[in-house]
A and B are shown apart, each in its own frame.
Chain A
Amino acid sequence: NAGVTQTPKFRILKIGQSMTLQCTQDMNHNYMYWYRQDPGMGLKLIYYSVGAGITDKGEVPNGYNVSRSTTEDFPLRLELAAPSQTSVYFCASSLRTGTNSPLHFGNGTRLTVT
């Protein structure tokens, strides 16, 4: 099983450019999440979705947007890239909330904004 697939794996952006980080899962999970990982810090939630058509902000949503048109896909959009958005981005999914529903992560997108 592919699980959670993220593309691209690496990207370098210039300040002010935009891009979309792709995420797809084939586990029919209801919940999907975007996290960023900065050195020495725990993962921080950017946006999440509890199902197709439903999205909401996490802890650090500024500068990002998401959409969830299907159960499988949850793309993350950066409209005007800034150096503070240099980070590793992880998409994750879970079947539901509660017992026996751990997070499954993709392999990450390493983004540098210069």
Chain B
Amino acid sequence: GQQLNQSPQSMFIQEGEDVSMNCTSSSIFNTWLWYKQDPGEGPVLLIALYKAGELTSNGRLTAQFGITRKDSFLNISASIPSDVGIYFCAGQRTTDSWGKFQFGAGTQVVVTP
């Protein structure tokens, strides 16, 4: 099945910096989800987006559903050490008739003091 193109693959940043990552596809989506996965744990939902252009925040996290409905981005502001982990996107295409999701490969975030 088609997977989403997620970039960057990894990021090494200093504490206090902002982080930005995105997911793109050639298909049109009706749902975008952003998850964080800590080592040895399951993915935890951060933000869910359901409308084109929608901009949603969750604390220092902000995500947007692209206007073209083919992309989404996630920003983390003023990073802290506990932001370390793998962030990945998931999307549901308009052509999928049931709860079938496409997934990005993830962005590994490393925060140094």
List A residues at the B interface (Cβ < 8 Å): 4, 6, 31, 33, 40-45, 48, 50, 58-59, 90, 94, 96-108, 110
Residue contact B42 to A105, C-beta cutoff 8 Å: yes
User: B residues bordering A, Cβ < 8 Å?
Assistant: 1, 3-4, 6, 30-31, 33, 35, 40-45, 48, 50, 88, 90, 92, 97-106
A102 nearest CB across to chain B (Å): 5
Inter-subunit contact B42/A96 (CB<8 Å): no
| Majority SS at the chain B contact face | loop
The 7 closest A-B pairs by CB, nearest first: A42-B103, A97-B99, A105-B42, A42-B3, A107-B42, A43-B103, A59-B1
Return the chain A residue nearest B97 by Cβ.
A97
Judge whether B45 and A103 touch: CB under 8 Å: yes
Q: Which residues on the A side are within 8 Å of B100 (C-beta)?
A: 45, 48
Instruction: List B contacts of A90 (CB < 8 A).
Output: 42-43
Contact A99 B50 (CB under 8 A): yes
Bound Cα distance A97, B30 (Å): 11
When the two chains form the complex, which single residue of A94, A106, A108 contacts B99, counting CB atoms closer than 8 Å?
A94
Please state if B31 and A99 are interface contacts (CB–CB under 8 Å). yes
Does A45 contact B41, Cβ atoms closer than 8 Å? Answer: no
**Closest CB-CB distance, A44 to chain B, in whole Å?**
7
